[in-house]
A and B are shown apart, each in its own frame.
Chain A
């Protein structure tokens, strides 16, 4: 279970409070008006923003003071998820070993992960030679290799077209069903939430609310969400 206990997160003069729990293995969408603090919330979970107050626990372990790379968290950002000077295989391999000293079995593992996301024959390419969708797949292959308990998505597919985005979301859903990871996904599109999330965290008016079942929340939105959804 991921637990945010009376958390206060400050991000450049703006602050967000969160007091909530997320069940292990759940898939959640974080929605709310833009500027409300959706990214702030997951950046705090990833460890890029410090907590001004409160604590953060995963399965009882206190993560509050841990560095981003030391947390059981894999994260995909809005952009810049790949290193342009490294090959597809190297970018994915970083998920296993940050120093890229991969043993033979580990190299095979990387190849399997690339095949899993449909890039088996592009291992030696550089990101610039790939399409946007293929680049997203490389990042997902790395997530697969990282085998972290929590996957945070900060709208990594926002630049893709609707069909491609849905394809990626389905791939995410498949991958996490294999790894059993807990997913928190920032989205401004309620259709994304309906597509893969069982639950929704509504971020509005300086507060991240405890998760609610997706369909129930979206079918009967509270006034602030209604104003946002239009």
Chain B
């Protein structure tokens, strides 16, 4: 069914694209910009992440695990919230610009290529750091002990242990970040724009909203699909590599990097990463607290709408993902796994375009804005949900499948008494992720929404467009609280009273 949804919309896109008017110069510019910003974002994110990950791998300090947990937060952080934070720090009237102006210098200019890349690095530096840090942690502790025994200095450790690990891990991290940045929409919508800073996703939106040129939107969607498909597939292939060998899980102690210089360098990296993450969020929160008092009824209505959309989307996701996870776990079909991964290749705007084309002849797509948003959000969250659910589902099947069979529990009783209770923690985590992602999504809703309807992220964007930055910050803070709150409640709910 998911495959039908994705493939159906793709067929619709392909059919419409035939009627398109060809690939104009502005479309080529969009393609070039898309590739360029994705390349830069991936290079910068991963390059910086190597330094941060190395420092985190070498050092033990208080708050380290908290910082590593914090690195996971941008994944569920609503894009629009982060952008407001980045504007508050790096924008024309932001903190850094104010300091520059104080010293008689020009304020920063955030809109355009560097703004887009900055935002992408903000989102993907933490992700890349986690991926690379994992590589470091997979080097068995015994190897470091051996290196210390051989009196290997930093250069030797780099050559013996770290460089080979990075050669294995970095291509995967690059590919993942590149693929993510290819289908970036909300960042380009807010910080890009104009002929020189338009991604293909944004061009789809513009073809849609401004020109209502469905043929062109469909053609661009087809191009985008080709790009993300190839990049997503490459990322999966590269990221799927074998380990460096196993150790006995000894507690890791490092004997290298004890010089003053190394300590200062590592401290610098960690400080940089922390500030880079924390500053924009604090700036947004500071601006938001005063803005909270300016919130109008429209914002509260939008907030309620977002909560409803997120709830429906989460429910849809579970209805889709749980049977899929169960089917994959019992090995009934690898096709299903592929269907889940399709969600990675298709971008929200591409599916949105396809759905629009499908719905348009029969009904008013604008009237269906919210259900479509909930559905697309659910499909987008599906690959992540499956990654969370499938391993646990396999475990449950392996451990309890035969006992349940011998007790003739197949079907309903198995689901109710075994599968769901055993999967609770994972279901909570996946649901929390889906709710937060849906809550913060500023994608397909922009295609379908008429002025009467808005989710909270869209309302924030509209307030920004009207230059009511303080109200926007207030609404963004509300959005942040709702998204993080939804994640926290669902994730906690899953683990509440859960026995081993």
The answer to whether A46 and B422 touch across the interface, beta carbons within 8 angstroms, is no
Q: Please tell me which one of the listed residues A68, A80, A98, A128 contacts residue B413 in the complex, with CB atoms under 8 A apart.
A: A98
- B178 nearest CB across to chain A (Å): 42
Which of A77, A85, A94 makes the CB contact (< 8 A) with B402? A77
Known contacts A95-B407, A99-B412, A68 near B417 by CB under 8 Å? no
Inter-subunit contact B406/A94 (CB<8 Å) = no
Q: Does B485 contact A (CB under 8 A)?
A: no
Indicate if the CB atoms of B409 and A98 lie closer than 8 Å: yes
User: Judging by beta carbons under 8 Å apart, are A68 and B402 in contact?
Assistant: yes
B403 proximal to A (CB < 8 A): yes
Contacts of B498 in A (CB 8 A): 85
**Is A48's CB within 8 Å of the partner chain B?**
yes
Residue of B nearest to A146 (CB): B407
Does residue B323 face the partner (Cβ distance < 8 Å to A)? no
Q: How far is the CB of A182 from chain B (nearest CB, A)?
A: 16
Q: In whole Å, how far is A81's beta carbon from the nearest beta carbon of chain B?
A: 6
Contact of B489 with A by CB under 8 A:
no
CB-defined contacts of A213 to chain B, threshold 8 Å: none
On whether A99 and B416 interact (CB within 8 A), knowing A84-B500, A85-B421, A85-B422, the answer reads: yes
Q: Given A67-B410, A85-B422, A99-B413, is A48 in contact with B499 using a C-beta cutoff of 8 Å?
A: no
* Chain B nearest Cβ from A218, distance in angstroms: 30
Task: Verify if A75 is at the interface (C-beta below 8 Å from B).
Answer: yes
Q: Does A69 contact B (CB under 8 A)?
A: yes
User: Of all chain A residues, which has the CB nearest B399?
Assistant: A80
**Of B399, B405, B418, which contacts A69 at CB under 8 A?**
B405
Interface size class of A (residues with CB under 8 A): 20 to 34
Taking a contact as CB atoms under 8 Å apart, the answer to whether A69 and B410 are in contact is yes
**Separation of A98 and B417 alpha carbons in the complex (Å):** 9
Query: Is the C-beta of B259 less than 8 angstroms from some C-beta in chain A?
Result: no
How many Å lie between the Cα of A90 and that of B142 in the bound state?
A: 47
CA distance A146 to B500 in the complex (A): 27
Given contacts A83-B417, A85-B422, A99-B416, contact A73 B500 (CB under 8 A): no
Chain A contact residues: over half helix, strand or loop, or mixed? loop
Given contacts A85-B422, A99-B412, contact A128 B407 (CB under 8 A): no
A180 to B413, CA, bound (A): 29
B408 contacts A by Cβ under 8 Å: yes
Q: Provided the pairs A80-B399, A83-B417, A86-B417 are in contact, do residues A128 and B406 lie with their beta carbons within 8 angstroms?
A: no
Q: Which of A48, A75, A83, A142 contacts B418 (CB 8 A)?
A: A83
- Complex CA–CA separation, A85 to B499 (angstroms): 6
Chain A residues, CB < 8 A from B23: none
Interface status of A207 (Cβ within 8 A of chain B): no
Chain B residues with CB under 8 Å of A84's CB are 499-500
Question: Does B400 lie at the interface of the complex (its beta carbon under 8 Å from any beta carbon of A)?
Answer: yes
Nearest opposing residue in chain B for A90, CB measure: B417
Most buried by B among A85, A126, A128: A85
In the bound assembly, the distance between CA atoms of A90 and B500 in angstroms comes to: 17
Are B406 and A69 in touch, CB under 8 angstroms? yes
CB within 8 Å of A: which B378-410 residues: 399-400, 402-403, 405-410
Q: Indicate if the CB atoms of B500 and A128 lie closer than 8 Å.
A: yes
Task: Give chain A residues whose Cβ lies under 8 Å from the Cβ of B402.
Answer: 48, 68, 77
A220 at the B interface (CB under 8 A): no
Q: Give the shortest distance, in Å, between A83 (CB) and chain B (any CB).
A: 6
Q: A67-B408, A86-B421 are in contact. List 16 more A-B contacts (CB 8 A).
A: A46-B406, A67-B405, A68-B408, A69-B406, A69-B408, A69-B410, A70-B408, A80-B400, A83-B417, A83-B418, A86-B417, A94-B407, A94-B417, A99-B412, A99-B413, A99-B416
Identify the 8 closest CB pairs spanning chains A and B, nearest first: A69-B408, A98-B409, A98-B413, A68-B405, A99-B413, A85-B421, A75-B406, A68-B406
